[in-house]
Structure 1
Amino acid sequence: MALLTVSSPHAHGPMSTATVMRLVLAATVPGVFALTYFFGFGTLTNILWASILAVGMEAAILKLRKRPIGFYLNDGSALVTAVLLGIALPPASPWWVIAVGILFAIVFAKHLYGGMGYNPFNPAMIGYVVVLISFPVQLTTWVAPAGTFDGNLLGPIEALVRTFSVGAVDAVTMATPLDVLKQNDSLLVEDLWASSAQFGTLAGVGWEWANVGFLLGGLFLLYKRVFTWHAPISMLIALVVLSALFYDGGSSASGGSPMFHLFSGATMLGAFFIVTDPVTSAVSNRGRIIYGACIGVLVYLIRVWGNYPDAVAFSVLLMNFAAPLLDHYTQPRTYGHKKKTLQKEAD
């Protein structure tokens, strides 16, 4: 008698892919709200344009691959990629920068490898790194946050005009706090903090609240058990330990305090929304701890001694390379098997 061979998993749970993606989208709301409040409506226009492009490109590729378009679009993975990329890009980025990022994220980083579940690298981070390397000027021009200058932030219409380059829209721009600290070579950290408008209570004006928002969203996802604590917490601990070891407030060469690194740049977005990607991260709990810790170390090293002020995308992609190796060496023992022990042979 022939037996039916069915691969695992056999159990069905309430957490379908579409449900997980909807929870992730909902969890980004506090961080997006903070970014919008401090930097204007540019982040929303990024997300809107990126989402339209992502859904369109996803549908086109699915049609070329002769896959059911409605079924795969319903899982929400393309929208999550678009939202994460839109958040990572500077507010009101040019439409063509967003288009190039989405093209590489959806077509090259995702479908070139077989689609959802087969991509070895995080699609949103691939798209971000491609445009960061290709268009460094556009990717390092951030709108000055509210409270650091006398003027109005870009409203929704102005943000759309600036995004699609229909006309010239004046906006006050300034370097990010991470960039200011990185370029400092003369002032003590305390003096730099006092003399630069970008710095707030813990980190940068606007940035600290955006990171608090993404932290709240990440805790919500932890509560919903969308992912485990191992990767994000180990990343944050590694970042705190390194920044504490090398911090010296009385030196101009200091890399910044632990609180500064925790609440600057894309730290919380990376820890809870990028590092936790189930497809490209390590699988076992031990592997996730090592994976997250290595990302935290790389983030600090690149921020302080590398060429880029923020490093979450590069760190994640580098560890995506290492995830299969971590899985190989951190496989848990199967049930019923004991750890091998070496015994001396009797003389």
Structure 2
Amino acid sequence: MNSPVVAEKTGVNVIMLKVLAALLPAVAAYVYFFGPAILVSITLASVAALATEAAVLHLRRYPLRVYLTDGSALVTAWLLALSIPPLAPWWLVVVGTLFAILIAKHLYGGLGNNLFNPAMVGFAALMISFPSHMTHWTAPDVLAHSHWSFSQQMDFMFGGISPADSKLDAITMATPLDTLKTQLHLERTVVDIQSSPIFSMLSGKGTEIIALFYLLGGLYLWQQRIISWHIPASFLAAMFGTAGLFYLFDPAHYASPLFHLFAGGTMLGAFFIATDYVTSPTTPLGKLIFGAGIGVSAYIIRVLGGYPDGVAFAVLFLNSAVPLIDAYTQPRVFGHAGKWFDGRKE
């Protein structure tokens, strides 16, 4: 082969398409354990994201076809939809998506210019503004005290109408992380709490399988060289190590490291959210620092903070530090030991 050899760059649309494909197994598991309502949330978020993107691009006089087909808005929509309760009212999904695309993305100049992960900004805005709506997580079918048909779920999502013979509490429950946090405040031990039916071998019934599929999807992205290993590995290692230290100190009041790896948004955050190209560091060392910072921060928020799952807030916190991390982790330019001026080292 004649030189020079230039590798063909992978387009943004191909990268985003592979990210969406990597999420599909987890979405399928979500539907299996918790019902098809999540598909409606994903559809609502996708439509809202594309509509908002098109409107802003039109106002900015950008070519619609180029930017609407790059897939970035859809990835933001899917990640946000997978982060909020599947039975959330339709307007909650739309408001969160609009906030993510309009404020977190285009207010900073569009794709490539945003400082914070748009999906996590949307999630944080909803969590702070509508906390009660963000706690109605659907129980797995095997644990629900009642069963709503798909049409009944749609009546609730779009009209707020519950079946006459069943209340919302009959098909929803607190998440394993929320249950653990609440019950620990009541002076119960971890072993006693995890004897509840909502817990399984690793974390929660159904949720641990979804987390496993996020892990497999993330490994697919790594195998395809869409992401590098640095952020997920340092994220999970820091989460595991921090949780392990607390667990060794007092196993009666701190859950095992494996529980924290497969509970909440750990796997989704490690492989699909923290690895966002725009809002993460560019240097290998910077990625390791960034991932470890998220892992430690997320655990501290979970255990000592006011929120049961701190992944989103940890990601946003470390997003703000990315410029500083990049500035202090730049490798030395090959052949240069320092700056020189007029033959003298500065």
TM-score, structure 2 as length reference: 0.91
- Structure 1 partner of 2:189: 188
Q: Contact conserved, 2:281 with 2:326, CA < 8 A, in 1?
A: yes
Percentage of identical aligned residues: 48
- Structure 1 partner of 2:126: 131
Deviation at 1:252, TM superposition (A): 4.6
Aligned residue pairs, count: 328
The yes-or-no answer on 1:165 pairing with 2:159 is yes
- Structure 2 partner of 1:265: 264
Task: Report Cα offsets for 1:173-227 as digits up to 9, x if no partner.
Answer: 1110001111123222111111x12101110111100100100100000000001
5 Å-filtered alignment, 1:134-145, equals: 134-145=129-140
What letter is aligned with 1:219? L
Task: Report Cα offsets for 1:104-156 as digits up to 9, x if no partner.
Answer: 1000000011101001100000000000000000101111112223543x444
Deviation at 1:93, TM superposition (A): 0.9
Q: Contact conserved, 2:57 with 2:63, CA < 8 A, in 1?
A: yes
- Structure 2 partner of 1:64: 59
**CA–CA separation in structure 2 for the residues paired with 1:29 and 1:244:** 31
- Structure 2 partner of 1:97: 92
- Judged with a 3 Å threshold, the aligned counterparts in structure 2 of structure 1 residues 13 and 113 are, in CA distance, closer, same or farther, namely same
CA RMSD, 1 decimal? 1.8
5 Å-filtered alignment, 1:193-204, equals: 193-194=194-195, 196-204=196-204
Deviation at 1:35, TM superposition (A): 1.4
What letter is aligned with 1:306? G
Q: Contact conserved, 2:76 with 2:118, CA < 8 A, in 1?
A: yes
Deviation at 1:30, TM superposition (A): 1.3
For structure 1, list consecutive stretches of 5 or more residues without a partner in the other structure: 1-9, 341-347
For structure 2, list consecutive stretches of 5 or more residues without a partner in the other structure: 340-346
What letter is aligned with 1:145? P
**CA–CA separation in structure 2 for the residues paired with 1:219 and 1:278:** 17
Deviation at 1:289, TM superposition (A): 0.1
**CA–CA separation in structure 2 for the residues paired with 1:103 and 1:24:** 21
**CA–CA separation in structure 2 for the residues paired with 1:182 and 1:16:** 43
- Structure 1 partner of 2:309: 310
- Structure 2 partner of 1:224: 224
- Structure 2 partner of 1:85: 80
SS for the counterpart of 1:28 is helix
**CA–CA separation in structure 2 for the residues paired with 1:155 and 1:127:** 29
Task: Report Cα offsets for 1:16-68 as digits up to 9, x if no partner.
Answer: 10000000000001111111111111211110100011111100000000000
Query: Which of 143, 148, 162 matches 1:148?
Result: 143
**CA–CA separation in structure 2 for the residues paired with 1:174 and 1:166:** 18
5 Å-filtered alignment, 1:1-347, equals: 13-152=8-147, 154-165=148-159, 167-169=161-163, 170=166, 171=168, 172-183=171-182, 184-185=184-185, 186-194=187-195, 196-247=196-247, 252-254=252-254, 256-338=255-337
TM-score, structure 1 as length reference: 0.91
- Structure 2 partner of 1:345: none
Q: Contact conserved, 1:233 with 1:292, CA < 8 A, in 2?
A: yes
- Judged with a 3 Å threshold, the aligned counterparts in structure 2 of structure 1 residues 220 and 111 are, in CA distance, closer, same or farther, namely same
Task: Report Cα offsets for 1:241-294 as digits up to 9, x if no partner.
Answer: 01111115975532x111100000011000000010000001100000000000
What letter is aligned with 2:225? R
